[in-house]
């Protein structure tokens, strides 16, 4: 049996598109294209205003050093201790007791888990700077919590 790798009756059809014809068709329907764009923009604005709540983020930064006397200078060991303390503070900030104190002091009507979910604590590598970010629907409340 002899097999040929030919197209066996299949023709190679090409479709050509004239760009001028295409532009003329679009130009004739330009009012529909503009109307569709305006309707899409209005729907996007309505959905955003009616169904989406803005979330605000407030960030505060702390520089962590170990306790020192007012008269003494900062030493290398103070800086190293500060680096270690930063990791400890990251854990303590999100602890249940700290969250309960924040809820109590600010008289918040939310659970510890909800408050903890709104708070992000981060530390840039090899620094003693802690960043505490709070996301909330109220910009004032986000600032106060942070």
Q: What is the pLDDT of residues 10-42, one digit of tens each?
A: 566 778 888 888 888 888 999 999 999 999 999
**Contact criterion met (CB below 8 Å) for 82 and 64:** yes
More confidently predicted of 73 and 92: 92
Q: What's residue 70's pLDDT?
A: 58
Mean pLDDT of 112-134: 88
Predicted confidence band of residue 87 (pLDDT cuts 50, 70, 90): confident
Max CA distance (Å), the chain: 101
CB atoms within 10 A of CB 138: 13
Output the pLDDT for position 32: 92
Beta bridge partners of 119: 134
145 burial via Cβ count (<10 Å: 0-12, 13-18, 19+)? buried
More confident residue, 107 or 85: 107
Contact status, residue 130 vs residue 86, Cβ threshold 8 Å: yes
Cβ–Cβ < 8 Å for 82, 68: no
d(CA 54, CA 56): 7
Asked whether residue 86 carries a pLDDT value surpassing 70, the answer given is yes
| pTM higher than 0.85 | no
Q: What is the pLDDT of residue 66?
A: 66
**Whether 119 contacts 59, CB under 8 Å:** no
* Chain mean pLDDT for the chain: 83
Smallest Cα–Cα separation from 67: which of 57, 59, 75, 55?
75
DSSP code, position 14? -
Quick one: what percent of the chain has pLDDT higher than 70?
79
């Amino acid at each position: 049996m002899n097999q040929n790798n030919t197209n066996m009756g299949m023709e190679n059809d090409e479709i050509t598109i004239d760009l001028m014809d295409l532009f003329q068709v679009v130009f004739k329907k330009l009012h529909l294209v503009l109307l569709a764009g305006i309707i899409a923009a209005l729907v996007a604005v309505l959905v955003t205003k009616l169904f989406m709540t803005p979330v605000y983020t407030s960030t505060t930064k702390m520089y962590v050093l170990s306790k020192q006397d007012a008269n003494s200078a900062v030493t290398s060991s103070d800086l190293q201790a500060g680096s270690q303390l930063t990791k400890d503070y990251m854990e303590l900030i999100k602890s249940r007791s700290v969250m309960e104190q924040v809820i109590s002091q600010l008289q918040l009507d939310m659970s510890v888990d909800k408050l903890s979910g709104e708070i992000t604590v981060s530390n840039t590598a090899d620094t003693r700077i802690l960043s505490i970010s709070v996301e909330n629907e109220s910009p004032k409340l986000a600032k106060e919590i942070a």
